[in-house]
C-alpha cells in the first residue's frame, strides 16, 4: 500500500511550483463546470493525458489506477444522468469528472508532499492570527501520510500474531481484538514520535518566529 | 511567508565552551514517586562512551538526560556549558538522538523529505538543505532512494535513514539508544561501522556488548546508579558478574 504518490521524473511539470499546479487544477475545474460541453470535456481529457503521460512522462499505470478507483462511481453517475436527462449529458458529466480525477493525479504524482504542504501552510497563514501555527498543520498532513502505512502494517502484524496462536476472529470480535492492541501500540508510538520530533528540533519554531516583525 | 533564521547551523558562538563535554552534577530522576536514577556525578568527554545494564535499570532515562528530552528532577546536566533545564533548544542542536525504533523517528513519507526535516526546523534555506540532504544520503548509501516511500525501505535502511536525519543536522555529539536492537546481524554491523566512523562524540546505550569494541569508556548502570565506570574489558566483566548473581 503506497500513499506517497510522488513519481520522480525530470520534467517541466515536476519543476513547476506546487502553487501553480494547484491553481491550474482549480482553473481547469472552473472551466469544465462553466463550459459543460462535450468538446471542452473531451479536449480537457486529452490535454490532461498529454501533460501527464507526454510532458511529465508518468507511467500509464499511475493514471489508470486513479481511473479504476472511481470507475463504479462514474458508471453510477452515467446511469443516473442517462435516465434522468440524456446520454450526451451523462457522457460529458462523466468525462468532466474523469478529467479532474486524472488532473489531480498528475498534480500529486509530480509534486512532493513537502511542496504541497508548504502551499497549504501559506494558505493557512492568516490562521496565525487566531493562534494556529501553519507549520503544524503542514506537519500534521505529512505525518498522516507517513504513518497510515505504518499503522496498517502494525495492524497486519497483530492479526498475524493472533492467527499464529490459532485466533481467527471475524466481525465485531475481530475489530475488538485487533483494535485494542493496536490502540496501545498507537499511543506508545505517538509518545515515541513526539520525542523524536523534539529531538530533531520541532520546537525550534519560536526562534524562527522571534525574528519576524 | 516562511520565517527563517538568516544563518543556518547552530553557531558555536551560542555555546559557552564547545569542548567541555557533558557534565552531570548530582543528577537524580524520578517518575512520580519512583526513583529511576540517583546520585550521578560524571563528566563525559571521551569520544566513545557505552552504557550497559539490565532492563529497567535506567539507561534510556540516562540517555534522554543528555539532550534534554528528560530534565532531571534533581541536579543539573550541563552540555558544553549549556544547562538542559534552561537552554534545551541549544542543547538539542548540540546533541543528536537516535532511537531504537526507526519507524517512530521517520516523520515524512519519503526519504529525502524526512532527512530535510530537522534542517527545516533549524531554518536552513532550501538550496542548502537540498545540498546537505543529498550529501548525507550519498554518504550512507541511500542516494538511490531519495524519493522512495520510507515505509518500503528494509529495517536496516530505515535505521540508516533515521541516523541520516540526525547527522544531517551536524550535531557535535550523538546519543544512540539501542540502535541495533531491531536489526539483523548484517545491518547491525553496518550501523556499528557507521557509528565507529563518526567524527562526533557518541554515547551508545546497548545490550549488544560487541558494539563496544574499541570504546574509550563504558558505564554500567544498575538500579539507577552507575556501578562501574571503566574501559570496555573490565566494565563488561563487571556487568557479567553482576548479572550472574541474579
Ligand atoms: N515515562 C515514564 N514514566 C514512568 N516510568 C517510567 C517512564 N519511563 C521509564 N520508566 C520506568 O523507569 C525505569 C527505567 O526505565 P528505562 O527506560 O530508563 O530503563 P532501560 O535501562 O532503558 O531499560 P531497557 O533495557 O528495557 O530499555 C523502568 O522501571 C521504567 O518502567
Ligand atoms: Mg531503554
* B170-B95-B86 Cα angle (round to 5): 130
Per-domain residue ranges for chain A? 12-111, 131-199
Tens digit of pLDDT for each residue in A160-199? Answer: 888 888 777 666 777 777 788 888 888 888 889 999 999 9
Total residue count of chain A as it appears in this document: 213
- CB of B93 less than 8 A from some CB of A: yes
Per CATH, the number for B20-244 is 3.40.50.300
Sign of CA dihedral A139, A99, A2, A60: negative
Q: How far is the CA of B234 from the centre of ligand 2 (A)?
A: 22
More confident residue, A158 or B50: B50
Does A202 sit within 8 Å of B67, measured CB to CB? Answer: no
pTM of the model: 0.80
Residue A208 scores a pLDDT above 70: no
Mean pLDDT of chain A: 84
Q: Whose CA is nearest to atom 7 of ligand 1?
A: B31
Residue of B95, B107, B144 to mutate for A, most A C-beta atoms under 10 A: B107
Does B149 sit within 8 Å of A2, measured CB to CB? Answer: yes
Mean pLDDT of chain B: 91
Tens digit of pLDDT for each residue in B19-66? Answer: 899 999 999 999 999 999 999 999 999 999 999 999 999 999 999 999
Q: What is the pLDDT of residue B60?
A: 96
Task: Categorise residue A176: left if φ over 0, alpha if ψ from -120 to 50, beta otherwise.
Answer: alpha
Sheet of B173-177, strand order:
B95-98, B173-177, B201-205, B48-53, B217-222, B225-230
Tens digit of pLDDT for each residue in A63-87? Answer: 998 888 888 889 998 998 888 888 8
CA distance B54 to chain A (A): 21
Residue A212 scores a pLDDT above 70: no
Residue B2 scores a pLDDT above 80: no
Rounded CA-CA distance B208/B51 in Å is 10
Q: How confident is the model at residue B6 (pLDDT cuts 50, 70, 90)?
A: very low
Per-domain residue ranges for chain B? 20-244
Rounded CA-CA distance B190/B168 in Å is 18
| C-alpha cell belonging to residue B181 | 536492537
Task: Tell whether ligand 1 has an atom less than 6 A from the beta carbon of residue B57.
Answer: yes
| C-alpha cell belonging to residue B32 | 512520580
Task: Tell whether ligand 1 has an atom less than 6 A from the beta carbon of residue B126.
Answer: no
Does B106 sit within 8 Å of A6, measured CB to CB? Answer: no
Q: What is the pLDDT of residue B240?
A: 96
Rounded CA-CA distance B243/B246 in Å is 5
- Alpha-carbon distances, residue B159 vs B166, B195, B205 (angstroms): 11, 12, 15
Residue keyed to cell 550512507 = B140
Q: What is the pLDDT of residue B1?
A: 41
Tens digit of pLDDT for each residue in A28-55? Answer: 988 988 888 889 999 999 999 999 999 9
Q: What is the pLDDT of residue B9?
A: 45
First to last CA, chain B: 60
Does A142 sit within 8 Å of B109, measured CB to CB? Answer: yes
Q: What is the pLDDT of residue A169?
A: 66
CA distance B216 to chain A (A): 25
Amino acid at each position: 500500500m503506497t500513499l506517497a504518490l510522488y513519481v520522480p521524473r525530470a520534467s517541466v511539470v515536476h519543476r513547476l511550483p506546487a502553487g501553480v499546479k494547484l491553481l491550474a487544477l482549480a482553473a481547469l475545474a472552473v472551466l469544465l463546470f462553466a463550459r459543460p460541453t462535450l468538446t471542452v470535456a473531451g479536449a480537457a481529457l486529452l490535454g490532461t493525458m498529454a501533460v501527464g503521460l507526454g510532458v511529465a512522462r508518468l507511467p500509464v499505470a499511475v493514471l489508470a489506477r486513479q481511473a479504476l478507483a472511481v470507475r463504479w462511481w462514474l458508471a453510477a453517475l452515467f446511469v443516473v444522468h442517462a435516465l434522468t436527462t440524456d446520454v450526451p449529458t451523462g457522457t460529458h458529466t462523466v468525462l468532466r469528472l474523469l478529467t479532474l480525477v486524472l488532473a489531480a493525479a498528475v498534480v500529486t504524482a509530480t509534486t512532493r508532499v513537502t511542496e504541497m504542504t508548504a502551499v497549504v501552510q501559506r494558505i493557512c497563514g492568516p490562521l496565525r492570527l487566531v493562534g494556529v501555527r501553519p507549520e503544524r498543520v503542514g506537519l500534521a498532513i505529512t505525518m498522516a501520510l507517513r504513518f497510515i502505512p505504518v499503522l496498517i502494517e502494525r495492524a497486519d502484524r497483530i492479526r498475524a500474531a493472533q492467527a499464529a496462536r490459532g485466533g481467527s476472529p471475524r466481525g465485531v470480535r475481530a475489530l475488538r481484538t485487533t483494535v485494542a492492541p493496536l490502540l496501545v501500540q498507537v499511543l506508545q508510538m505517538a509518545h515515541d514520535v513526539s520525542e523524536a520530533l523534539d529531538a530533531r528540533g520541532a520546537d525550534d519554531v519560536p526562534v524562527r518566529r522571534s525574528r519576524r516583525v | 511567508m516562511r520565517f527563517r533564521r538568516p544563518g543556518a547551523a547552530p553557531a558555536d558562538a551560542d555555546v559557552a565552551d564547545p569542548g567541555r563535554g557533558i557534565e552531570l552534577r548530582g543528577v537524580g530522576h524520578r517518575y512520580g514517586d519512583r526513583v529511576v536514577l540517583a546520585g550521578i556525578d560524571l563528566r563525559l568527554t571521551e569520544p566513545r562512551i557505552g552504557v550497559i545494564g539490565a532492563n529497567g535499570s535506567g539507561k534510556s532515562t540516562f540517555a534522554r538526560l543528555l539532550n534534554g528530552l528528560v530534565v532531571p528532577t534533581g541536579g543539573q546536566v550541563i552540555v558544553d556549558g549549556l544547562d538542559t533545564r534552561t537552554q534545551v533548544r541549544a542543547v538539542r542542536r548540540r546533541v543528536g538522538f537516535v532511537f531504537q525504533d526507526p519507524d517512530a523517528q521517520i516523520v515524512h513519507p519519503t526519504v529525502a523529505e524526512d532527512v530535510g526535516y530537522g534542517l527545516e526546523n533549524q531554518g536552513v534555506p532550501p538550496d542548502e538543505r537540498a545540498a546537505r540532504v543529498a550529501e548525507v544520503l550519498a554518504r550512507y548509501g541511500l542516494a538511490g532512494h531519495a524519493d522512495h516511500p520510507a515505509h518500503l525501505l528494509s529495517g536496516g535502511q530505515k535505521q540508516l535513514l533515521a541516523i541520516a536525519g540526525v547527522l544531517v543536522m551536524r550535531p557535535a555529539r550523538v546519543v544512540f539508544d539501542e540502535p541495533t536492537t531491531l536489526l539483523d546481524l548484517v545491518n547491525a554491523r553496518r550501523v556499528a561501522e557507521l557509528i565507529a566512523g563518526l567524527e562526533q562524540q557518541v554515547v551508545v546505550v546497548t545490550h549488544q556488548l560487541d558494539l563496544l569494541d574499541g570504546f574509550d569508556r563504558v558505564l554500567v548502570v544498575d538500579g539507577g546508579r552507575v556501578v562501574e565506570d571503566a574501559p570496555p574489558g573490565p566494565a563488561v566483566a563487571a556487568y557479567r558478574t553482576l548479572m550472574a548473581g541474579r
